[in-house]
Structure 1
Amino acid sequence: MDRKRNWAGNFQYSTSNWHEPDSVEEVQQLVSRLKKLRVIGTRHSFNSIADSNENMVSLKKLNKVLSIDREKETVTVEAGIKFGDLCSVLQQHGYALHNLASLPHISVAGACATATHGSGNGNQNLAAAVRAMEVVTWDGSIVTFSKEKSEDEFHGAVVGLGGLGVVTKLTLDVHPSHQMRQDVYENLPLAQLDQHFEPIFSSAYSVSLFTDWQDERFNQVWLKSKLTDDQTVSLGEEFYGAKAAKENLHPVPGVGAENCTAQLGVPGDWLDRMPHFRMDFTPSKGQELQSEYIMVRKHAYDALYAISEIREQIAPHLLICEVRTIAQDELWLSPSYKQDSVAIHFTWQDRWAEVQKVLPLIEAQLEPFQAKPHWGKLFTTSPAKIQSLYEKMPAFQQLLRKYDPNGKFRNTYLNQYIFNEVE
C-alpha cells in the first residue's frame, strides 16, 4: 500500500497502517489494542507533528455536529469535522464562530491542537473557543477536560499537539450570526506601520497584510468588517497611502481570484467573508510550503523591518507573506499565551532545499523578538530554544506523563520538541 502524504504533498507519513474509526467506541478499541499511534485530521500540517512509525488514526468519519445549546451558546461537534461544514450548520441555526483561519477546509480538532488562528486585534486563536473536550486516553477510557471541571488542566490540554490521546468531541463557544464586508487596498508602504501599526490593525474586525517582499511595501490590505443594523462601515478610496482595489484579488500576485471570498465591500454572511478562500473551492495541492512565526505585538514593526533587511534572500522563493494579529489567551502551548501577538506567515514555493536555507536567516532576524514557530509548519528552530519560549512547558510535560504514562501517543516530533529527547 502506498504511504499517504499531507495536503501539500511535501510530507510522506512513515507508515501505511491507517485506521478510520466510525465511532468513539471504535476509537476506544483501537487505542486499547495498539501500542503506538498518532491522530490525523485533514493533513494540513507541513511537518512531522502528526506522524507515526506504527499506526495512523484518521478522524475523517467523526465529522458530525452533535448538538447546539442555545442557553449556553455552545456547539458540540465530533473532532474530525471541518470548519467549513460546521459553519454551514451554525449559520442555519443563527450562530457564528468568533474567528476562522484563512482556509475553511481544516478540521476543528487539528486546528485547536496546534493553536491555529485567524486575525484581529481582539480575536483569540481558534482553540480559545473550546469550552470542553473529550479525549480517549492511553487505556481506552474517556477523559473530559473543561473550564468548569479543572481550569488549569483544561488550559494545558486544549493545545495538546495530540499528546494526551485521541480528541473525539469538542464543545465550542458560539455567537449570534452576523454579516460582514471585505475591502482590499493595494500598495501600503511598510513605513506606515512604524507609527500606525495599531490603528491599521484595529481598523476592522479582522485585518491581513500581504507582501511578496519585492520591496518595502504590502501588496494588499484585507479588511474584514462586521456589519450591524445600527452601524454602516464607510471606507474611503485611500487607506494610509494604499488605494482601494477595483476588482477582486487573490493574495498571490498573478493568480485569479475565483476561489477567494467576495471583496469590494459586498455584504455577506460571516462564513463567506471571514476566511480568505471559499469552502467550495479546494485550494491547489502540492504547490506550496508554509512557515509562520508569532511574537509579542509591540515588536511588530521592528520584526517586519528586520525581515525586510533580508527580503532579497526571501523574495525569490516566496509566493506570499501574510501579517496578522492575535489576542492573548490562557492556553499553555499557544504562542499567544498571555501576550497579544503578531504573526508573520510565509507561503513558499514548493522547493524545500532552498526554503530550508532561508528559514535560519529569518529565525536569526527574529531572534531578538523571541518568535515562536507555528507548531504545524516548517521551521529550523532548535528544540531547546522552543522549550525555553514556553513558560508552561514543564507543566505540559507533566500533563502528558499523567495522561499518557507509557508514551503511546508520543512520536519523534513530541520527543524532540517537547521532551528534548533524541531518538
Structure 2
Amino acid sequence: MTSPLTNWAGNVTFGMRRFHAPTSVTELRQIVARSDAVRALGTGHSFNTLADTTGDLVSTARLPQTIDIDPAARTVTVSGGTRFGTLASALHDAGYALHNLGSLPHISIAGACATGTHGSGDTNGNLSSAVRALRYVDAAGEWVTLDRGSAEFAGSVVALGALGIVTHLTLDVVPAFDVQQWVYEGLPAETLRARFPEVMSAGYSVSVFTRWRGESLDQVWLKRKVDDDGPAPGPARWYGATRADAQRHPVPGMAADACSLQLGISGPSHRRLPHFRLDATPSSRGDELQSEYFVAREDAVAAFDALHAVRRHFVPYLRISEIRTVAADDLWLSPAHNRDSVAFHFTWLPDRSAVTAALRHIENALAPFAARPHWGKLFTLGPDALRALYPHYGTFEQLLRARDPEGVFRNNLLGRLFALGGGLEGV
C-alpha cells in the first residue's frame, strides 16, 4: 500500500499491518489460516471501525463473482463481495428481484447483511432477512455452511464479521416488479404525528426526510409497487404535502443527478427502491458521517417527539435525517429483531467531536424506547446498554467464543462490545 487506506467516508484510516485482495477462495482460506488477526473489507461503507484491524485486512472485491439463480427454489446464490446493484440488475434480466433494497446499491451483499442494513417498507424485512444460507471461512481457514435449519443460523447472519469471512450467501428472490416514485414536499409534522401509520404504509417503501427545522418536513419519498393495472398518477396534494415538479436530492438544494428517477415514471424495482443510482456517486462530496437508531413501530410518534425536544443539540451538525419503517425478523443481532421497527437516520457534517456530543443527546432522548443503533454507523452506547437491547446478546457471545476462541476475527471495537471467555451453551 502506497497511501493510507480509508473507508468510503474517509473518517476511518485502517490500521492493518497487511492488506490482501485474494482472487480465489483457496487463497483466502490460506490467508485466514495463517493469521492471528484478520477482518474482511467489503465496500467500506461502515462509518465506525467495525472493519478495522491491526492484523490482516482482506478485501473480498476480487474473489470470483457468482450469481447462480435457482428458479425452482426461488433463490440466488451470490458471492459476498458482489454489490447489490450488480446482483439486482442480473436478477431483473432473469425475471427476478430482491424483496428490498437499501438506499445505496453500491454496498456489498455480505457487508450489508452482516450489519443488519435494511432498506424500508412496513412489510419488508431488512436485507439479511432474505438470507436462506451462507458460507464463510472460519478462523481455521475451513469453509462453514449454514442454512435456516441450523441452530446457529439466526446468530450467524447479522454477525458483524465476528465469525469469519462470508464468501457466499443464498438469498430468497421474488418475481421482478416495477416501482413508481414521487417526492412530496412540506408534509406538516402534525400530520405525521396524527397519521403516522397511514403515511408510512402509503407505498411499498416510504422515506420521510427532515432537517428538524420548523413544523413541516422537507420531503417524503413515496415508492409505489406497480400492480396489474399499471402505473397510476400521484395526486398533486398528499396529506397536505405538495408533489415535487422536478427531481429532488434528499438534502434540499443539492443536485439530484445521482438520484433514482422520480416523477412517477415507472421502472424496475432495482432502479427505484434505492435512493441513488449505481452508476453515480451518492454524495457530491462524500464528506459525511452517519448514525441510525431503531425503535418499535408503536413508539414512533413518541420517539419523534423526544427527538424534536432535543433538536437544538443536533440540528447545527445535521445534513439530513430520514425516517422509515422496517419489518421484524428473527436474527439475533438485527436492529429489527422481533419487532416491527421505525429507523431514525442521521447524515452528519464531518465533525466527529460535535457529532459524538450530539449522539449522546439523541441516545438519551431515545433511551426510554430501547433504541438499537445501526452496527455500521456511529453510536456511543456501550456493552451494558446494548446487552439490555438484545435478548440473544449473551447467546451470540457464546457463539462467538465457541467458533473463534482465539479471537482471530475480533478487533478493538468488537472487543469492547462483547465479552470473552467461556463456551457454547444452549445454541
Asked whether 1:210 is paired with 2:195, we answer no
For the 8 Å contact 1:132–1:146, the answer to whether it is kept is: yes
2:249 maps to a residue whose letter is H
Indicate the residue corresponding to 1:361 in structure 2.
361
Indicate the residue corresponding to 1:226 in structure 2.
225
User: What do the CA deviations read for 1:204-246 (whole angstroms, capped 9, x no partner)?
Assistant: 0000000011223210000111112235534311111111111
Indicate the residue corresponding to 2:424 in structure 1.
none
Counterpart Cα distance in 1 of 2:237 and 2:152:
48
Q: How does 1:67-146 map to 2 (within 5 A)?
A: 67-146=68-147
For the 8 Å contact 1:62–1:81, the answer to whether it is kept is: no
Q: How does 1:175-324 map to 2 (within 5 A)?
A: 175-230=174-229, 232-284=231-283, 285-324=285-324
Counterpart Cα distance in 2 of 1:83 and 1:196:
33
Indicate the residue corresponding to 2:425 in structure 1.
none
Counterpart Cα distance in 2 of 1:420 and 1:121:
37
For the 8 Å contact 1:3–1:15, the answer to whether it is kept is: no
Q: What displacement does 1:286 show?
A: 3.8
Indicate the residue corresponding to 1:48 in structure 2.
49
For the 8 Å contact 2:401–2:420, the answer to whether it is kept is: no
Counterpart Cα distance in 2 of 1:123 and 1:339:
12
Indicate the residue corresponding to 2:18 in structure 1.
17
Indicate the residue corresponding to 2:30 in structure 1.
29
TM-score (norm 1): 0.97
Q: What displacement does 1:260 show?
A: 0.4
For the 8 Å contact 2:119–2:127, the answer to whether it is kept is: yes
Q: What displacement does 1:376 show?
A: 0.7
For the 8 Å contact 1:114–1:161, the answer to whether it is kept is: yes
Question: The residue matched to 1:191 in structure 2 has which SS?
Answer: helix
4+ long deviations beyond 4 Å: none
Counterpart Cα distance in 2 of 1:218 and 1:273:
22
Counterpart Cα distance in 2 of 1:246 and 1:286:
27
For the 8 Å contact 1:118–1:326, the answer to whether it is kept is: yes
Asked whether 1:58 is paired with 2:59, we answer yes
Structure 1 window deviating more from structure 2 (319-328 vs 56-65): it is 56-65
Counterpart Cα distance in 2 of 1:65 and 1:261:
26
Q: What displacement does 1:65 show?
A: 2.8
2:327 maps to a residue whose letter is A
Counterpart Cα distance in 2 of 1:121 and 1:202:
6
| Residues 112 and 63 (structure 1), Cα distance of their counterparts in 2 relative to 1, 3 Å cut | farther
Counterpart Cα distance in 2 of 1:267 and 1:283:
21
1:294 maps to a residue whose letter is F
Q: How does 1:400-419 map to 2 (within 5 A)?
A: 400-419=400-419
Counterpart Cα distance in 2 of 1:313 and 1:400:
37
Q: What displacement does 1:16 show?
A: 4.4
2:384 maps to a residue whose letter is A
Q: What displacement does 1:354 show?
A: 1.3
Q: What displacement does 1:312 show?
A: 2.2
2:54 maps to a residue whose letter is N
| Residues 36 and 174 (structure 1), Cα distance of their counterparts in 2 relative to 1, 3 Å cut | same
Counterpart Cα distance in 2 of 1:326 and 1:120:
6
User: What do the CA deviations read for 1:373-409 (whole angstroms, capped 9, x no partner)?
Assistant: 1001011112210121111011111111121121111
Counterpart Cα distance in 2 of 1:318 and 1:211:
10
Question: The residue matched to 1:27 in structure 2 has which SS?
Answer: helix
2:254 maps to a residue whose letter is V
Question: The residue matched to 2:152 in structure 1 has which SS?
Answer: helix
Structure 1 window deviating more from structure 2 (323-332 vs 184-193): it is 184-193
User: What do the CA deviations read for 1:108-132 (whole angstroms, capped 9, x no partner)?
Assistant: 0000000001110000000001000
Structure 1 window deviating more from structure 2 (55-64 vs 257-266): it is 55-64
User: What do the CA deviations read for 1:35-70 (whole angstroms, capped 9, x no partner)?
Assistant: 110111000000011110111011011262331100
1:130 maps to a residue whose letter is V
For the 8 Å contact 1:132–1:147, the answer to whether it is kept is: yes
Question: The residue matched to 2:161 in structure 1 has which SS?
Answer: coil
The runs of 5 or more residues in structure 2 that have no matched partner are 422-427
Question: The residue matched to 2:323 in structure 1 has which SS?
Answer: strand
Structure 1 window deviating more from structure 2 (354-363 vs 232-241): it is 232-241
Counterpart Cα distance in 1 of 2:382 and 2:36:
29
Indicate the residue corresponding to 2:339 in structure 1.
339
For the 8 Å contact 2:154–2:330, the answer to whether it is kept is: yes
Counterpart Cα distance in 2 of 1:225 and 1:51:
39
2:163 maps to a residue whose letter is L
Question: The residue matched to 1:337 in structure 2 has which SS?
Answer: coil
Structure 1 window deviating more from structure 2 (369-378 vs 9-18): it is 9-18
For the 8 Å contact 2:181–2:272, the answer to whether it is kept is: yes
1:43 maps to a residue whose letter is G
Asked whether 1:3 is paired with 2:36, we answer no
Counterpart Cα distance in 1 of 2:155 and 2:206:
29
Question: The residue matched to 1:321 in structure 2 has which SS?
Answer: strand
Counterpart Cα distance in 1 of 2:353 and 2:409:
30
How large is the Cα RMSD of the aligned pairs? 1.3
Q: How does 1:391-406 map to 2 (within 5 A)?
A: 391-406=391-406
User: What do the CA deviations read for 1:349-393 (whole angstroms, capped 9, x no partner)?
Assistant: 111121111110111111111101100101111221012111101
Counterpart Cα distance in 1 of 2:381 and 2:142:
36
Indicate the residue corresponding to 1:327 in structure 2.
327
Asked whether 1:352 is paired with 2:343, we answer no
Q: What is the identity percentage for the equivalent residue pairs of Structure 1 and Structure 2?
A: 48
Q: What displacement does 1:191 show?
A: 1.1
Question: The residue matched to 2:292 in structure 1 has which SS?
Answer: strand
Structure 1 window deviating more from structure 2 (23-32 vs 279-288): it is 279-288
The runs of 5 or more residues in structure 1 that have no matched partner are none
Counterpart Cα distance in 2 of 1:334 and 1:89:
27
Asked whether 1:156 is paired with 2:155, we answer yes
Question: The residue matched to 1:184 in structure 2 has which SS?
Answer: strand
2:120 maps to a residue whose letter is S
